[in-house]
Amino acid sequence: MSGRQDSRTSGHQDKRTSTRNTQYVPGIPLNETDINANAMNQYLPVIGITMGDAAGVGPEIIVKSLAHDSVYQQCRPVVIGDARRLEQAIAIVKTPLSVRRIQTVSQATFTPGVVDCIDLDLIPEDLPFGQLSAIAGDAAYQYIAHAAKLAEAGEIDAICTAPLNKEALHAGGHKFPGHTEMLAHLTGVDEVSMMLVAPQLRVIHVTTHIGIIDAIRKIEPGLVQRTIERGHATLVKAGIANPRIAVCGINPHAGENGLFGYGEEEEKIVPAVQLLRERGWDIEGPLPADTLFFRAGRGDFDLVVAMYHDQGHGPVKVLGLEAGVNVTVGLQVVRTSVDHGTAFDIAGKGIADEGSLLEALRQGAELATRRA
């Protein structure tokens, strides 16, 4: 992930309410009457926001985001981080917030204007912004570790992560490529999937950061099945009772009955699709990716299953680069993340834009586990 931190807007929202029993749409402000009515029938998920690298823009974009009352209409946010650092960020960005130190989620009040912070108190007061720090790297790990415990205990319904710096993380003694691998390790999960979410489009990937030849070799019916199952479970938890799923082929025209490729669709994809259809799932494929994404963009499907990185990333970034959010599925709870790095070059200056975190919070609220 790069250190670039672009200006972002909060994006758009798929206004289709699927099978939910409410017209409330996360991300769209409601009037007071609507809010009161929805309070009775709309569960607001508790989202644990990890502070990320304290030397980066994480503290600033968190307090800027939580200054938006609309966030509290979408979810109940609680920060896992360092209260003193958040207070410094509030002073830097000059927003009228206060920080409330708590030890447990049950102590949170979720009141607009007050940042509930589970204070791990790991950051020294004089830690400079914008400089790589092993202390900040270790703290970023500890925030994630605490969030994982809260998720496993059922105290939070989703995790939203502010950016960390991989070099600082390693310097702090934690040799992970990033958040996804850390969370998988901490929760004892062997396999997770990447889902990208943009306006009116959700794409889950069977393979991600490997070369195209290796990706095709890796694709097999079991992996395809497990990937679809993770995506299906995520959407069901989010309130879509019977998600409409479309599965991409590998070759042009999805092989066109053997005209292209060497039967990869029939060997690697079809068995998984057939098995899941036998469960009564609403699933189509393998389909040609070009026309599939056109149909997905107009709202025909709730989820697209891409076979490899660029097959899924390209359409998402065309349709919603500024509003795109990276979602890790297959964990105890959904994890969403901003689409930028720690931006050390502007950290501590009060100019970091909170748009990407607002969108990550909105998507986290949309995909979070719903409780009765």
110-117 long-range Cβ contacts below 8 angstroms, 24+ apart: 110/72, 110/76, 110/77, 110/78, 111/72, 112/69, 112/72, 115/62, 115/63, 115/66, 115/79, 115/86, 115/90, 116/77, 116/78, 116/79, 117/78, 117/79, 117/80, 117/81, 117/82, 117/83, 117/86
* CB-based burial, 312-350: b 16+ in 10 Å, e otherwise: bbebbeebbebbbbbbbbbbbbbbbbbbbbbbbebbbee
Give CA–CA dist 326/356, Å, rounded.
11
Same domain, 205 and 296: yes
Q: How confident is the model at residue 5 (pLDDT cuts 50, 70, 90)?
A: low
Given this model, what pLDDT does residue 320 score?
Answer: 64
Same domain, 45 and 177: yes
Give CA–CA dist 226/17, Å, rounded.
26
Please state which of the ranges 39-48, 128-137, 217-226, 300-309 shows the lowest mean pLDDT: 39-48
256: in domain: yes
Given this model, what pLDDT does residue 333 score?
Answer: 82
Same domain, 175 and 221: no
Same domain, 99 and 238: no
Please state which of the ranges 158-162, 219-223, 322-326 shows the lowest mean pLDDT: 322-326
Same domain, 156 and 59: yes
Same domain, 87 and 225: no
Q: Please give the span between the terminal C-alpha atoms of the chain, in angstroms, as a whole number.
A: 37
Given this model, what pLDDT does residue 177 score?
Answer: 77
25: in domain: no
Same domain, 67 and 152: yes
Give CA–CA dist 327/271, Å, rounded.
26
Residue where the block lists tokens 């991409």: 248
DSSP class of residue 327 equals E
Please state which of the ranges 75-89, 163-177, 241-255, 321-335 shows the lowest mean pLDDT: 321-335
Given this model, what pLDDT does residue 27 score?
Answer: 34
Same domain, 38 and 181: yes
From the list 66, 85, 14, the residue with the least C-alpha distance to 323 is: 14
16: in domain: no
61: in domain: yes
Residue 157 in this model has a pLDDT that exceeds 70: yes
Between 265 and 24, the higher pLDDT residue: 265
Write down the pTM of the prediction: 0.75
From the list 162, 150, 63, 64, the residue with the least C-alpha distance to 107 is: 150
Residue 158 in this model has a pLDDT that exceeds 80: yes
Given this model, what pLDDT does residue 99 score?
Answer: 98
From the list 212, 189, 191, 193, the residue with the least C-alpha distance to 204 is: 193
- Work out the mean pLDDT of the chain and round it to a whole number: 86
Same domain, 286 and 348: no
Same domain, 68 and 185: yes
Same domain, 46 and 166: yes
Between 248 and 313, the higher pLDDT residue: 248
Q: What is the mean pLDDT of residues 10-29?
A: 32
205: in domain: yes
Given this model, what pLDDT does residue 326 score?
Answer: 85
24: in domain: no
Same domain, 173 and 97: yes
Domain count, the chain: 2
13: in domain: no
Given this model, what pLDDT does residue 109 score?
Answer: 97
Write out pLDDT tens, residues 208-225: 888 999 999 999 999 999
Write out pLDDT tens, residues 26-50: 333 334 434 443 443 488 999 999 9
Domain holding 166, by residue range, is: 32-191+333-367
360: in domain: yes
CATH code, domain carrying 283: 3.40.718.10
